[in-house]
Amino acid sequence: MSTKQHQSSVTRLKLSRNVYTTITNKTAAEYQPRATEFYIRCEQLAGFWIRVNPSGRKVYGCYGRLFGVGKETRVTIGSTDLYSATQARKLATKHLQDIKAGIDPKSVAKMEADKTPSTIESLLEIYLETHKDSMKPRYAYDFEYRLKKNFAALLRKDVRELTTEDLTAWWLTKQGKKDPKGSKRVVLSYLSPILNLAIALNMIEKNVAHDFKKIIGDKKGLRKGSPKKRHIKKGEMENWIASFLAQAVPHSQFKLEDGSWETAAAGNYTALWSSNPTISETQRDFLLFLLLTGKRLDESAKITWEDLDWNEDLPTITLQPEITKAGTEDIIPMTPVVAAMLNFRKERPSKHSKWVFENKYGSGPIVDCRKSLEKICHYKGDYFEAALQETINHHDLRRTYATMAEETGMSRKEVAIFLSHSVGDVTAGYITRSLQQVREKREKIEEEILQETRWYILVNWYECNEDLMEHWDHGPQDERPKAGYLQRLQLPRHEQDEYRFE
């Protein structure tokens, strides 16, 4: 009993929640956290304080009353790890002056935040507006269309709250009957510059689209259905070209009155075209142009006769800024086969008045070559099959050109310039000497692609001098059965010559 009386008589001391001192740059480090939150209040600037949490977090802040007598307003400035006392005091002084003048800093900050467009949709509008002079109308349309259609679920998301988890959920959600991941990858490529804009506006610190691309690159399930980077491999090129020659019509001089075709080519060589070639002149020439220049389909299709300069020493093709993806002029020196082909098209009585490669109705430029490419990739003739595993499309011809260019020893930067990738406006600055060097390099690529068949093409498609065929040694067809390298090694030495490599 006496113990309880003794305990009840003890006065329990409570630590004050407020400590008063002059706040300096050393003050925050001098005070350790307690079991409960407390404030270090500045004696020099009334209303300026440091709040110390039990967790150890310390932040600067201030408070005052509106007009000096009204509602109390508190403003948190930031962590003592991020601000010095000098910086925090300066901000506190400004806030306290505003509060005394009746201005609530919190309300002002909220109004400014509401004025700033922070959704992906609003940033999209800003991006399109600021890039309208540099973006081609078709690209701008596709940019906006794809984001609004395929990213609708997150379009009104505040960019400051967008996470990789949001992008993962969107990626795995099917939209509509057809939901190709390739289309979603395009959307990601469009989202990325929007987020870069947000970084430039100090809304966010990093681009989560970049982080998400790493995720889908590492996860097999998400990678399924991604677009493939196909091209005609070097070992397949000979068969692909042979299939092309078999199905494309030769020069009209080889067509007989009954509609059939000669079986002998110029120089009395055996003709490589089939008895019923189905790839028309324009399709033939357009595919050859794509293969030998590496240019994009849309750009190549819109070449006009005015874009051809038939300078005797250096004939060139100029892709005008309004049709190129980069929006810059692109000058292409003509190589021998390309020059012969364009000259052939120029001299045709039935040539189009404007377009070099007209569509089959003669109403405008060519728009498609997929059927012809499919025929070439899956040809089955009397003597061989060109059974490529996959159908090569027009963009794959562009990759094929890049691959063959590297085979000639060109650097990747040089190849990028030839393909008009975004490596600076180089082609527009070519002088005559530079163009001559470019032509020499393009000729090497042409030779790498066509090999000896270029002589056959020059003579039998474009009616060049028959003497050129002397350079083409087609030779008799090898009738020996095929055998793989290891298969031949397993045969007795005297039997190996009876087989040819597969």
Sheet hosting strand 18-21, strand order edge to edge: 18-21, 38-42, 48-52, 58-65, 72-79
pLDDT at 281: 95
pLDDT at 13: 55
Torsion sign (Cα): 342, 343, 347, 348: negative
Number of H helices and number of E strands within the chain?
Answer: 21, 12
pLDDT greater than 90 at residue 220: no
More confident residue, 234 or 462: 462
Residue tagged 């600067």 (tokens): 60
Angle at 145 between CA 139 and CA 149, to 5 degrees: 150
Condensed to tens digits (0 to 9), the pLDDT of residues 25-35 reads 999 999 999 98
Tell the CATH topology of 120-223: DNA polymerase; domain 1 (1.10.150)
**What's the average model confidence in pLDDT over 95-105?**
87
pLDDT at 493: 77
**What's the average model confidence in pLDDT over 406-434?**
69
pLDDT greater than 90 at residue 323: no
Domain ranges of the chain: 16-113, 120-223, 234-471
Structure tokens at 44: 């020099």
pLDDT band at 234 (very low <50, low <70, confident <90, very high): confident
Contacts of 171 (CB under 8 A, 6+ apart): 181, 184, 212, 216, 222
Q: Is 354 helix (H, G, I), strand (E, B) or coil?
A: coil
CA gap 71, 252 in Å, rounded: 94
pLDDT greater than 70 at residue 404: yes
pLDDT at 228: 57
CB-based contact 328:427 (threshold 8 Å) = yes
pLDDT greater than 60 at residue 305: yes
Entry pTM: 0.54
pLDDT greater than 60 at residue 365: yes
Indicate the CATH number for domain 234-471: 1.10.443
**What's the average model confidence in pLDDT over 30-57?**
92
pLDDT at 326: 78
Condensed to tens digits (0 to 9), the pLDDT of residues 113-172 reads 555 568 888 888 888 887 777 777 778 888 888 888 888 888 888 888 888 888 888 888
How many C-beta neighbours within 10 Å does residue 132 have? 10
Condensed to tens digits (0 to 9), the pLDDT of residues 422-441 reads 544 444 445 455 888 889 99
Condensed to tens digits (0 to 9), the pLDDT of residues 180-212 reads 555 788 888 888 888 888 887 778 878 888 878
Tell the CATH topology of 16-113: Double Stranded RNA Binding Domain (3.30.160)
How many C-beta neighbours within 10 Å does residue 286 have? 27
**What's the average model confidence in pLDDT over 302-319?**
92
Q: Which helix (H) or strand (E) holds 65?
A: strand 58-65
pLDDT band at 221 (very low <50, low <70, confident <90, very high): very low
pLDDT band at 173 (very low <50, low <70, confident <90, very high): confident
pLDDT greater than 50 at residue 6: no
